[in-house]
Amino acid sequence: MSGEKGRIALVCSCEDTMLLDGKALARGCGAGVEIRGAEQLCLAQLDRFEAALATGRPLTIACTAQAPLFTQEAEAAGAATPLFVNIRETAGWSAEGKQAGPKMAALIAAAAEPMPEIPLVSLESNGIALVLGRDEVAITAAARLQEKLDITVLLSGDVPVAPPRQAAFPVMRGRARAASGYLGAFEVTVDGAAAPSPSSRAAYAWGKGKDGAISRADIILDLTGAAPLFPAHEVRQGYLRADPADGAALERAIVAAGELVGSFDKPRFVSFDGKLCAHARNKREGCRRCLDLCPTGAITPGVGPLKDQVVISAEICAGCGACAAVCPTGAATYALPPTQALLRRLRRLLLTYADAGGEAPVVLFHDEAHGEALIDALARHGDGLPARVLPLRVNEVSSLDLAVFAGAFAWGAAAVRLLAPARRGHGVEGVLRSIDYTAAVLEGLGLAGPAPRAALLETDDPFSMGEALAALPRMALGFAPARFEALGSPREMAQQGFRALREAAGARATMVALPEKAPFGLARVEQAGCTLCLACTSVCPTSAFTANPDRPELRFLEDACVQCGLCAATCPEGVITLEPRLNFAPEAAQAAVVQAEEPAACPRCNKLFGTKASIARVKAKLSAHWMFADPARQALLELCEDCRVLEATNGGIDPYAGAPRPVTKTTEDYLREAERAKRGEPDG
């Protein structure tokens, strides 16, 4: 596989503690990358780094332990900062280090794939803090923070609290009923809000309470010991919570609160394009996958001009990526990095590994905080990662969408494992769905293995991780990897990956059933009940349903259907049902007519309008109505809208005329008839 033209890769054996397979490195990285070796690049052979730096060519240093040193030397020389990749803890320091040449080549090549800059969102805190508490612990904490923060204390009033000698900060009573917001913009709804009496003596005496009071703050320090005010409260920036009986936790919270003043930048984890959102149309709700899975409440239904989409608060979002993992249209995509950038690196990793002679690779997705610590510990104190396990760091393993799994297997992965903490974190449900969809496709293509090909590996123990990876059977797919480059939206890239996988495997299956809420499938129309009202075409966000402008036809394009359910929710006859599936047949990419009727021609001008069946249905429904008892009036229904007006006007038909109205009788008329009846006289 050809590498980046002119790049130099400096590969150090770290004082010969690992074996470097030069042939495998050269074969995998290709002729465009020059491999230069060393044994102690950071000290005795630093001149080799300086010589490579002097060439002005792009550099990759296969060492992260001494990255600060190399970065400093590059800055001193006025040169660009090299790329760094870890091949020691991830490959060389392993019981299978002698076989790790293809893996090293893959890691070096993948590191050269550029990644976009991280988008940021700014939060501003002026230090206005609300301390929630129940006893003197809250008062003490507030006293410690009063020099740094603008403090207000809100006590629950459940227990008597002695007031301090001086009122250095406001103390109120009340119960926080609800809260919203984020660092710099919290809003708390308080019931029973009351001020203390100035003459409070041994304990605060409270005035009359008020419900529904609003308190605004930049920071909330919750020391009540009660239930948290926010879902997934651990990741809500600016909301600090500690059990008042836990001294260590209390100390950490107080220290952290004192540091939350100023401007703070956080990553904008998710990119969102509201025009692609399939949440709602015409007051009908369709897709709500992200709403159901977001653990922090950062996603809410839009209102006003945004009523047809959801709204994602970048300030609240904690970056789990569950929304991006399940979004069927690509409206929500993960930005650290974007799926397409991640797939470029994944493709380079797997194809380089294959070109270097590696077989049956296992891709191990992991994060920095949890995953890298386990990999490092296993390399230093255990057998290290197996030679065929290719680690790939991502921001959150829970953010991986279906395109990542499709691409991994199409490019030759024998298995995929997602390294996660033993205690399941927030937002993992989204990636679990992607794993289920992938398993269904692999099984449908006859590619299921003796062990799950894609799964979570949940552990906090490096040795358990190593044992689980070493115990994986060699589940080689048995065919050459595909070499397509993923392009388009995440959904389109998933389709590309699965189709490439099917073609590479030579699988015959043309239809694979998928679990519920999968982003591919059929919207089945019951023809007998469809009246061609075309309501489905007006709400379909991807134009999977379209109308023929020239004839009364309803067409459906399966490749475009995201299974949002808007068509089924809108159909007045209730004749549309969803069928999740992946259709590999060429017909799935072509719009098919799912309902058609004979057009009706106006008997006067021969203009086509409506359908014969719809006119017949209307006539049948109106046949018993007094306005259409006259056959001449029924004939109006067979005319187009223009001729109908002309006929009603020129033909002397009064559209408001009806049957003769009954003669109005007065009280005198009824009395007169009764008198005649008594005398036996006839009416008249």
**pLDDT per position as a tens digit, 130-151:** 999 999 999 999 999 999 999 9
**Which amino acid is residue 638, in one-letter code?**
E
- 339-355 and 490-505 helices, crossing angle to 10°: 20
DSSP-derived secondary structure for 239-276: EEE--TT-HHHHHHHHHHHHT--EEEEEE--EEE-GGG
User: Which helix (DSSP H) or strand (DSSP E) does residue 395 occupy?
Assistant: none
Distance CA 334, CA 254 (A): 33
Judge whether 415 and 128 are in contact, CB under 8 Å: no
pTM for the model stands at: 0.88
What pLDDT sits at residue 632? 76
Residue-level pLDDT at 656: 58
Q: What is the longest distance spanned by two Cα atoms in the chain?
A: 139
In 540-656, where does DSSP find H-type helix? 566-570, 612-622, 631-636, 641-650
Contact by Cβ (8 Å): 419, 366: yes
pLDDT at 326: 97
Question: Which H or E run contains 22?
Answer: helix 22-29
Please tell me the distance from the alpha carbon of residue 548 to that of residue 545, in angstroms, as a whole number: 10
List Cβ neighbours of 400 (8 Å cut-off, separation of 6 or more). 321, 325, 365, 394, 418, 431, 434
pLDDT, one tens digit per residue, over 201-219 is 999 999 999 999 999 999 9
**What is the per-residue burial (b if ≥16 Cβ within 10 Å, else e) of 620-633?**
eeeeeeeebeeeeb
H/E segment holding residue 219: strand 219-222
For β-strands 239-241 and 262-267, DSSP reports them as unpaired
pLDDT of amino acid 2: 45
Burial track 524-550 (b if 16+ CB lie within 10 A, e otherwise)? ebeeeebbbebbbbebbbbebbbeeee
Task: Report d(CA 442, CA 451) in Å as an integer.
Answer: 12
Give tens-digit pLDDT for 590-635: 999 999 988 888 988 988 777 777 788 787 888 777 667 677 778 8
Specify which residues 132 forms β-bridges with.
154, 222
Beta-carbon neighbour count of residue 83 at 10 Å? 19
DSSP helix/strand/coil, 680: coil
pLDDT means per 10 residues, the chain with 684 residues, are: 72 96 94 94 96 95 96 96 97 97 97 94 98 96 97 96 93 97 98 96 95 98 97 96 96 98 97 97 95 97 96 97 97 96 98 97 97 98 98 98 98 98 95 98 96 98 98 94 96 97 96 97 95 94 94 95 97 97 97 91 84 78 74 82 82 61 79 82 68
Write out pLDDT tens, residues 78-120. 999 999 999 999 999 999 999 999 999 999 999 999 999 999 9
Distance (Å, whole) CA 455 – CA 96: 23
In the block, which residue shows the tokens 């922090």?
296
- Strands of 551-682, DSSP E: 553-556, 576-583, 592-596, 599-601, 608-611
DSSP letter at 206?
B
Q: At what angle do helices 462-470 and 373-381 cross, to 10 degrees?
A: 80
Q: d(Cα 647, Cα 635) in Å, to the nearest integer?
A: 10
